[in-house]
Structure 1
Amino acid sequence: MLRLPLSPAAIVWMLGATQILGYGTVYYSFAILAEPIARSLGLSVSTVFGLFSLSLLVGGVVAPFLGGRMDRHGAPTVMAIGSVAVAGLLAATAWAPGIVGFAIALTALQTAAPAILYDAAFTTLVQAGDTGARRRITHLTLIAGFASTLFWPLTSWLAAHMDWRGVLLVFAALNLVVCAPAHMLIARAPSRTGRAVPLAEPDAPAAPAPAASEAAPLLPEAIAGRVYGLMTLGFALSGFMLSALLAQMVPALTALGLGSAALVVSTLFGPAQVIVRFADMFVAGRRDPLLVTLFAMAMFPLAGVILAATAPSVAGAAVFAVLLGFGSGLKSILQGTLPLALFGRAAYGARLGRMTLARQFLAAAAPFLFAWILERLGATAALLSIAAVGIAGLACFVEIARLRRPDPNAAPPGRP
Structure 2
Amino acid sequence: MTERPPIAAIVALGLTQIIGYGTLYYSFSILAPGMSRDLGWPPEAAFGALSVALLIGGFTAPALGKWIDRFGAGRIMTVGSAIAAAALTACALVPGRISFVVALIGIEIASNLVQYGAAFALLVQIRPQAAQRSITYLTLIGGFASTIFWPITTMLHAEMSWQQVYLVFAGLNLLICLPIHAVLSRKMRCNRERSGKASPAKRVEGTLAASARRTGFVLMALSFSLQSLVSSAILVHMVPVLSGLGLGATAALVGTFFGPSQVLSRFTNMLFGGNLPPLKLAIIAAMLMAAAVFLLIPTAPSVVGAIAFAVVFGLGNGLFSIVTGTLPLMLFGSDGYGKLQGRVMAARLIVSATAPFALAYMMGAIGVVWSLALTSAAGGLAVLVLAAIGRLATNVYASEMKAGEAASAT
Q: Shift of residue 287 of structure 1?
A: 1.2
Contact 1:91 1:168 in 2 (8 A): yes
What's the CA shift string for 1:274-297, capped at 9, x where partnerless?
111001112344111111111111
**Aligned residue in 2 for 1:12:** 10
Structure 2 unaligned spans of 5+: none
Contact 2:329 2:337 in 1 (8 A): yes
Residues 242-257 of structure 1: matches in 2 within 5 Å?
242-257=231-246
Give, in whole Å, the separation in 2 of the partners of 1:39 and 1:305: 36
Q: Shift of residue 208 of structure 1?
A: 6.0
Aligned residues: percent identity? 42
**Aligned residue in 1 for 2:334:** 345
Q: Which amino acid aligns with 1:244?
A: A
**Aligned residue in 1 for 2:21:** 23
**Aligned residue in 1 for 2:222:** 233
**Aligned residue in 2 for 1:33:** 31
**Aligned residue in 1 for 2:402:** 411
Relative distance call for 1:284 and 1:188 in structure 2 (3 A) is farther
Q: Which amino acid aligns with 1:216?
A: E
Which of the numbers 194, 199, 206 marks the counterpart of 1:207? 199
Structure 1 unaligned spans of 5+: 1-6
Contact 2:128 2:204 in 1 (8 A): no
1:370 and 2:359 matched: yes
Q: Which amino acid aligns with 2:267?
A: F
Relative distance call for 1:104 and 1:130 in structure 2 (3 A) is closer
Q: Give the SS at the match of 1:215.
A: coil
Give, in whole Å, the separation in 2 of the partners of 1:159 and 1:115: 26
**Aligned residue in 1 for 2:192:** 195
Give, in whole Å, the separation in 2 of the partners of 1:129 and 1:150: 29
Give, in whole Å, the separation in 2 of the partners of 1:249 and 1:89: 29
What's the CA shift string for 1:319-357, capped at 9, x where partnerless?
211111111000000000000000000110111111111
Contact 1:129 1:195 in 2 (8 A): no
Give, in whole Å, the separation in 1 of the partners of 2:30 and 2:9: 30
Contact 2:241 2:368 in 1 (8 A): yes
Q: Give the SS at the match of 2:27.
A: helix
Give, in whole Å, the separation in 2 of the partners of 1:405 and 1:318: 39
**Aligned residue in 2 for 1:321:** 310
**Aligned residue in 1 for 2:68:** 70
**Aligned residue in 2 for 1:101:** 99
Q: Which has the higher helix share?
A: 2
**Aligned residue in 1 for 2:132:** 134
**Aligned residue in 2 for 1:79:** 77
Q: Shift of residue 122 of structure 1?
A: 0.3
Residues 163-202 of structure 1: matches in 2 within 5 Å?
163-190=161-188, 194-195=191-192
What's the CA shift string for 1:48-74, capped at 9, x where partnerless?
111111111111111111111110111
Residues 132-171 of structure 1: matches in 2 within 5 Å?
132-171=130-169
Residues 262-281 of structure 1: matches in 2 within 5 Å?
262-281=251-270
**What TM-score, normalized by structure 2, do the two folds share?**
0.93
Aligned residues: 402
Q: Shift of residue 315 of structure 1?
A: 2.1
Give, in whole Å, the separation in 1 of the partners of 2:186 and 2:405: 45
Q: Shift of residue 261 of structure 1?
A: 2.6
Give, in whole Å, the separation in 1 of the partners of 2:65 and 2:211: 24
Give, in whole Å, the separation in 2 of the partners of 1:400 and 1:94: 45
**Aligned residue in 2 for 1:397:** 386
Q: Shift of residue 219 of structure 1?
A: 1.2
Give, in whole Å, the separation in 2 of the partners of 1:194 and 1:91: 35
Relative distance call for 1:219 and 1:47 in structure 2 (3 A) is same
Q: Which amino acid aligns with 2:253?
A: V
**Aligned residue in 1 for 2:347:** 358
Q: Which amino acid aligns with 1:155?
A: T
Q: Give the SS at the match of 1:45.
A: coil
Q: Which amino acid aligns with 2:340?
A: R
Q: Shift of residue 13 of structure 1?
A: 0.6
Q: Shift of residue 299 of structure 1?
A: 1.1
**Aligned residue in 2 for 1:299:** 288
Give, in whole Å, the separation in 1 of the partners of 2:179 and 2:406: 55
Q: Shift of residue 415 of structure 1?
A: 5.8
Moved over 3 A (4+): 406-410, 412-415
Give, in whole Å, the separation in 2 of the partners of 1:289 and 1:130: 15
Give, in whole Å, the separation in 1 of the partners of 2:98 and 2:398: 61
1:336 and 2:328 matched: no
**What TM-score, normalized by structure 1, do the two folds share?**
0.92
Give, in whole Å, the separation in 1 of the partners of 2:197 and 2:193: 12
